[in-house]
């Protein structure tokens, strides 16, 4: 055959199969465009001059990597669906005399056409929308808007190289599918049913076990660090369980419906159930894919939107005053109190020199020690050489000792604590009885200040691990009892924490300058003493970082959710189209024996109703179960507002539930047009 005939056949094949290729082109174009936008924002340096832009660029760089991985997986999935719809056509070519090499050339030119349209359309769309995305992101985080237009040739080149590689792998995969099928198998591909798994009950039980294990992890974990370590394990278990349960469940459901003669032998049910039985495993896998994508969308948007909406609240909890300074020194030293007084004097001196009007001053020091807490006792001996994955973070707690005189002076109280007694407070669900034991030291609990802890630490509700505040008669006497507690490196486990926070009445730029001046004071005073940690932050300086971080997460969540939503729509569309072509001959036969158009619509509605609700209901169940572990993860970012998270999740469910219903309605109409 002449070489020029292959491009013509390929172009004609794409044109005749427009229902399959047009959605595929749109998806590929969107994949390339979104990848370009993420790469452009993450690597071109357009966010470098934005406060907190470094964090945002890291997130967008991560997002471009996720897009590359997900794009590869999904494009392979879509291409397999396309090839399945074309196998009969390729089988006819083979019967008419074409060999595998000839068909391979046709597939090559079809892939080349797809690559050309996807790259050109994606880059044009990505470059055109990149400025809009940049403006949207900068407006979202409240940064200064730059209206200059830039094209990142690095991002364009990266997108071209990446998707050229993906399309090359897709081409090889298509060749593999055709090469190992005979002409007869290709022609009959659309009429080949599926054999149900022999041990579908075992598959279903295994899926339930996976789901149960994933749900158990999501509900059991109490501490944010544990949630961070086990979250992805729970996700993998839920994904595996979803696929196994829905694959096996579709088989079992079809069998049960077929055994129910009153239900099965009705015009509106007979064809729909037999059609589902014809593709048992594939039907379950498709529903599972839709369910997982919907769950990912709901979880991402619920969490990132909750963070972004509450960013100001989180900022105020982390940085309640305009200026906040901190210093840490491990070990016990009687000279630390004098050092704290000297730091206070120097900082207030610098603040007054910078024109501050000092108000809401809270300056104090505590001694802190950590360990495993259980049954009202803190076991101080922790083996920090143990791998992180084997540390029981659910029982790790921190105790902070404060002198009662300091507590009364700084927070304006009149508490009295006798030697050996203590007043304690903790916002977490920690069991503290009438006595509290820390190491070998025992205290009689004479009072609780759980409802007053925010005055000591406004961010107490978003602590990664529980902190127990203990007000004692003489903090130095108590701290001296822990001088022998060392970790495996010989470092003291007792730490001295010094806090200083106040308001200034200065402008944002003046607050940032003052925090820089205080950092210089801390360096001069504490660096010679080999302090382990010290810094000074300002509310104004951290605002840009917070908005950039949470805005970046929300922006990334929106982009990824958009792609996942498009993929979900495409799966539903291809599912309806491919099943429509498979079922058309059955409906034609049924019409010849008396089935009316009205009966066809009833049958389609029955089939849609049977499978329509499964993915969205299961996705909502997944969301409800994983919200507790998502809440624990959000605590790491400073959000401990469960009602806000639930409200965000509810809005997402309503919005995407309505959109899901609309998409299924539109695609079911397309299914009806094909079969009728």
In this model, does residue 497 exceed pLDDT 60? yes
In this model, does residue 614 exceed pLDDT 90? no
Q: Which range is least confidently modeled, 293-297, 362-366, 666-670?
A: 666-670
Residue 279 burial (CB count, 10 A): 21
Helix 100-140 to helix 153-179 angle (10° resolution) is 150
Neighbouring residues of 344: CB distance < 8 A, sequence distance ≥ 6? 363, 500
pLDDT interval class at 283 (50, 70, 90): low
User: Residue 372's beta-bridge partner residues?
Assistant: 379, 396
pLDDT interval class at 335 (50, 70, 90): confident
User: Which of the pair, 64 or 413, is modelled with greater confidence?
Assistant: 413
Task: For 403-451, write each residue's pLDDT tens digit.
Answer: 999 999 999 899 999 999 999 998 877 788 889 999 889 999 999 988 8
Mean local confidence (pLDDT), 333-356: 88
Residue 461 burial (CB count, 10 A): 16
Task: For 155-167, write each residue's pLDDT tens digit.
Answer: 889 889 998 998 8
pLDDT of residue 95: 65
How far apart, in Å, are the Cα atoms of 298 and each of 74, 302, 641? 19, 6, 18
pLDDT of residue 499: 92
The most confident of 126-140, 144-158, 234-248, 416-430, by mean pLDDT:
416-430
Sole residue written with tokens 């691990």 = 465
Sole residue written with tokens 């295994």 = 206
pLDDT of residue 247: 75
Q: What is the token pair recorded at 613?
A: 């609700």
Q: How far apart are CA 162 and CA 125, in angstroms?
A: 17
In this model, does residue 327 exceed pLDDT 90? yes
In this model, does residue 333 exceed pLDDT 80? yes
Mean local confidence (pLDDT), 10-35: 81
Mean local confidence (pLDDT), 128-144: 72
Q: Which range is least confidently modeled, 462-476, 565-579, 599-613?
A: 599-613
pLDDT of residue 36: 87
333-343 burial code (b ≥16 CB/10 A, e <16): eeebbebbeeb
pLDDT of residue 520: 92
556-594 burial code (b ≥16 CB/10 A, e <16): bbbbbbebbbbbbbbbbbbbbbbbbbbbeebbeebeeee
User: Which of the pair, 244 or 96, is modelled with greater confidence?
Assistant: 244
Residue 659 burial (CB count, 10 A): 14
pLDDT interval class at 388 (50, 70, 90): very low
- Residue 372 DSSP SS3: strand
Mean local confidence (pLDDT), 133-141: 71
C-beta of residue 417 within 8 angstroms of C-beta of residue 423: yes
pLDDT interval class at 2 (50, 70, 90): low
User: Residue 328's beta-bridge partner residues?
Assistant: 497, 533
What's the whole-number average pLDDT of the chain? 79
Strands (E) across 504-624 are located at 533-538
In this model, does residue 199 exceed pLDDT 50? no
In this model, does residue 51 exceed pLDDT 60? no
- Residue 65 DSSP SS3: helix
Q: Which range is least confidently modeled, 214-223, 281-290, 338-347?
A: 281-290
Percent of the chain with pLDDT over 70: 76
pLDDT interval class at 498 (50, 70, 90): very high
- Every domain of the chain and the residues it spans: 1-192, 323-505
Q: How far apart are CA 404 and CA 413, in angstroms?
A: 9
pLDDT of residue 151: 81
In this model, does residue 94 exceed pLDDT 70? no
Residue 667 burial (CB count, 10 A): 19
Q: Which range is least confidently modeled, 33-42, 276-285, 501-510, 629-638?
A: 276-285
In this model, does residue 52 exceed pLDDT 60? no
Tell me whether residue 107 is exposed, middle or buried, using C-beta atoms within 10 angstroms of its C-beta: 0 to 12, 13 to 18, 19 or more: buried
User: Which of the pair, 327 or 659, is modelled with greater confidence?
Assistant: 327
Q: What's the DSSP call for residue 492?
A: B
pLDDT of residue 267: 57
- Whether this prediction's pTM lies above 0.85 is answered by no
Radius of gyration for the alpha carbons in the chain, expressed in angstroms and rounded:
32
Mean local confidence (pLDDT), 544-564: 79
The most confident of 183-192, 374-383, 408-417, by mean pLDDT:
408-417
C-beta of residue 565 within 8 angstroms of C-beta of residue 558: no
């Amino acid at each position: 055959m002449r070489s020029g005939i292959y491009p013509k056949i390929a172009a004609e094949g794409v044109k005749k199969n427009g229902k399959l290729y047009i959605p595929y082109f749109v998806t590929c174009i969107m994949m390339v465009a979104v990848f370009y936008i993420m790469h452009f924002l993450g690597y071109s340096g357009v966010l470098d001059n934005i406060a907190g832009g470094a964090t945002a660029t890291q997130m967008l760089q991560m997002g471009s990597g996720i897009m590359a991985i997900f794009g590869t997986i999904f494009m392979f999935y879509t291409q397999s669906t396309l090839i399945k719809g074309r196998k009969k056509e390729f089988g006819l070519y083979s019967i008419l005399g074409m060999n595998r090499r000839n068909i391979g050339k046709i597939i090559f030119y079809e892939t080349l056409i797809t690559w050309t349209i996807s790259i050109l359309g994606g880059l044009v769309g990505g470059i055109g929308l990149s400025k809009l995305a940049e403006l949207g992101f900068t407006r979202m985080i409240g940064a200064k808007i730059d209206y200059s237009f830039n094209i990142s040739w690095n991002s364009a080149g990266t997108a071209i190289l990446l998707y050229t590689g993906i399309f090359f792998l897709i081409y090889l995969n298509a060749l593999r599918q055709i090469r190992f099928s005979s002409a007869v198998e290709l022609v009959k591909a659309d009429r080949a049913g599926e054999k149900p798994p022999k041990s579908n009950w075992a598959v279903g039980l295994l899926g339930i076990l996976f789901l149960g294990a994933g749900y158990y992890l999501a509900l059991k974990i109490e501490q944010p660090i544990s949630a961070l370590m086990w979250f992805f394990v729970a996700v993998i278990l839920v994904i595996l369980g979803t696929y196994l349960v829905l694959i096996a469940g579709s088989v079992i459901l079809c069998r049960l419906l077929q055994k129910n003669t009153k239900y099965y032998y009705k015009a509106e049910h007979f064809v729909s159930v037999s059609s589902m039985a014809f593709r048992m495993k594939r039907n379950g896998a498709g529903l599972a894919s839709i369910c997982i994508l919907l769950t990912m969308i709901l979880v991402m948007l619920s969490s990132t939107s909750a963070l972004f909406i509450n960013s100001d609240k989180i900022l105020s909890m982390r940085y309640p005053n305009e200026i906040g300074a901190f210093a840490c020194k491990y070990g016990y030293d009687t000279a630390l109190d004098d050092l704290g007084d000297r730091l206070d004097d120097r900082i207030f001196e610098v603040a007054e020199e910078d024109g501050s009007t000092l108000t809401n001053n809270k300056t104090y020091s505590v001694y802190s020690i950590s360990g495993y807490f259980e049954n009202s006792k803190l076991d101080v001996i922790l083996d920090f050489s143990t791998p992180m994955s084997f540390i029981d973070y659910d029982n790790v707690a921190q105790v902070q000792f404060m002198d009662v005189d300091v507590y009364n002076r700084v927070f304006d109280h009149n508490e009295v604590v006798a030697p050996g007694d203590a007043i304690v407070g903790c916002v977490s669900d920690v069991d503290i009885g009438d006595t509290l034991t820390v190491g070998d030291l025992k205290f009689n609990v004479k009072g609780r200040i759980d409802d007053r802890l925010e005055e000591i630490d406004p961010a107490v509700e978003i602590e990664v691990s529980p902190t127990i505040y203990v007000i004692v008669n003489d903090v130095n006497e108590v701290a001296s009892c822990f001088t022998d507690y060392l970790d495996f490196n010989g470092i003291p486990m007792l730490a001295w924490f010094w806090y200083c926070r106040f308001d200034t009445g200065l402008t944002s730029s003046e607050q940032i300058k003052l925090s820089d001046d205080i950092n210089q004071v801390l360096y001069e005073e504490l660096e010679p003493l080999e302090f382990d940690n010290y810094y000074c932050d300002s509310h104004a300086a951290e605002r840009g970082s917070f908005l950039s971080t949470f805005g970046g997460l929300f922006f990334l969540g929106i982009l990824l959710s958009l792609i996942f939503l498009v993929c979900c729509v495409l799966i539903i569309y291809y599912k309806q189209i491919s099943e429509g072509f498979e079922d058309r001959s059955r409906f034609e036969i049924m019409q010849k024996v008396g089935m009316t158009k009205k009966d066809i619509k009833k049958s389609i509605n029955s089939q849609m109703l049977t499978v329509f609700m499964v993915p969205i209901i299961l996705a909502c169940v997944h969301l409800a179960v994983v919200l507790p572990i998502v809440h624990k993860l959000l605590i790491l970012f400073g959000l401990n507002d469960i009602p806000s998270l639930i409200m965000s999740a509810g809005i997402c469910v309503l919005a995407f539930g309505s959109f899901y219903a609309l998409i299924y309605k539109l695609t079911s109409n397309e299914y009806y047009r094909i079969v009728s």
